[in-house]
Amino acid sequence: MDITQIMVTISGIILIGLTLWFFFGKRAEHKSIGGTELYTCPMHPWITSNDPTADCSICGMKLVRNDGTIK
Ligand SMILES: [Zn+2]
Tens digit of each residue's pLDDT (9 = 90 or more) over 26-47: 665 555 445 678 899 999 999 9
CA 29 to ligand 1 centroid distance, Å = 26
**Which residues, by Cβ under 5 Å, contact ligand 1, an ion?**
41, 43-44, 56, 58-59, 61
CA 55 to ligand 1 centroid distance, Å = 8
CA 67 to ligand 1 centroid distance, Å = 17
| Average pLDDT score over the chain | 84
How many angstroms separate the CA atoms of 38 and 58, rounded? 18
Q: Which of 39, 36, 70 is nearest to 52 (CA)?
A: 39
pLDDT band at 70 (very low <50, low <70, confident <90, very high): very low
